[in-house]
Structure 1
Amino acid sequence: MEIKATLNNLRISPRKARQVAVLVKGMKAEQAKNQLTFLVKKPAPIILKLLNSAIANAKHNFSINQENLYIKSLLVDGGPSLKRWLPRAMGRATPILKRTSSIKLVLGEIKEGSGKIKKTRKEKEGEPKETARNLPESGIEKSVVEREEKMGEEYKEKKSLIQKPRDSSSKSKNKNFTRQAAGNLKKVFRRKSI
């Protein structure tokens, strides 16, 4: 089974990202994780995040253990380039291409079907999991919930009682206005026309 994870428009040159990709391609997932955590290259932590995402996909979607996974393929392709200009002598400009890359990671199983996580009996039968809302509330928990509800109501009442002042203008606003008036005169009477 193949588990996929992709990353698009990464602002790193594909040539630099390929150096890291070649290093971990074909490794077991755990070995690749260890390799990427201690690798001192800019794309390494980003590819590690992508690998963690793919492992999480395998665990959540297909219930496959991390020990049973390896990196089947890791493709680094070029994405759209951002075009920028560098000023040079005598009014010239030279183009700069800020390259982006897209990374496609595919994990495979070492042994087909052997590393699956076994579900508990409750999950198989479809019974709801025990959460904080489903648990029976004790007397202490009920009192805490009631107190929070009362405080919420009091807060709403106080908020409605607070009124804004009728005259919203303040002295600081008046000062700014007078300064602005002087600035407007400067805009009208300029030394040079624009």
Structure 2
Amino acid sequence: MARFDYSNQVTGKDIARGRVNEAPISPKHAIEIAGFIRGMKLDDAAAYLEGVVALQKPIPFKRFNRNVPHRKGLVGWDAGRYPQKASRVYLRLLNNVRKNAEYNGLEGDQLRIVHVSANRGIRRRSFMPRAMGRATPKDRQTVNIELVVREQEA
């Protein structure tokens, strides 16, 4: 198995990190969510992503926005979607980072996301059954996500 390391070497005693490897979600959705929650407080990001899962708050699609419809509630941008599956993975990651921060002695309400990146992972080979006993090869995409938070002074 390959050795994984964080791409951004943020150091210090006031940080907590978390990582998800080979999550079976869309890389485009993961990249758009990463760009949106970067710089947010951890609690605010989790609350917003819960709204995305409930189909109440859209994620603005700024890079992969071809043929993406406009959504209500976006400030400064029109195109957006509700990537529920990717949002659930990010919520699990945010919860994991919060618990890592508490274990390190950091306060959960003072955490701000300083680094988040989503990269394409390996492609898993699968087959789609077709008529007459044939099958078409299909690659399933995975995503590697890393997140670093830092405790901010009140």
Q: How many residues get paired?
A: 111
Q: TM-score, normalised by structure 1?
A: 0.51
Q: What is the CA distance between 1:90 and its match in structure 2?
A: 9.3
Larger Rg: 1
Higher relative contact order (CA 8 A, sep 6+): 2
Identify the match of residue 57 of structure 1 among 100, 103, 110: 100
Q: Give the CA deviation at 1:95.
A: 3.1
**Amino-acid identity (%):** 33
Which residue number in structure 2 is paired with residue 77 of structure 1? Answer: 119
Q: Cα RMSD over matched residues?
A: 2.1
| Alpha-carbon distance, 1:68 to partner | 1.4
Contact 2:107–2:151 (CA under 8 A) maintained in structure 1: no
Q: Which amino acid aligns with 2:107?
A: N
SS in 1 for 2:39: coil
Q: Which runs of 4+ in 1 moved over 2 A?
A: 84-95
Which runs of 5 or more residues in structure 1 are unaligned? 115-194
**Does structure 1 conserve the Cα–Cα contact (< 8 Å) formed by 2:115 and 2:148?**
yes
- In structure 1, how many angstroms separate the alpha carbons of the residues matched to 2:50 and 2:118? 19
Displacement of 1:23: 1.8
Name the one with the larger helix percent: 1
Deviates more, 1:99-108 or 1:39-48: 39-48
Q: Match for residue 77 of structure 2?
A: none
Question: Among 18, 30, 37, which residue is 1:24 paired with?
Answer: 37
Counterpart of 1:7 in structure 2 is 20
CA–CA separation in structure 2 for the residues paired with 1:93 and 1:71: 44
- The structure where strand makes up a greater share of residues is 2
SS at match of 1:64: coil
2:7 corresponds to which residue? none
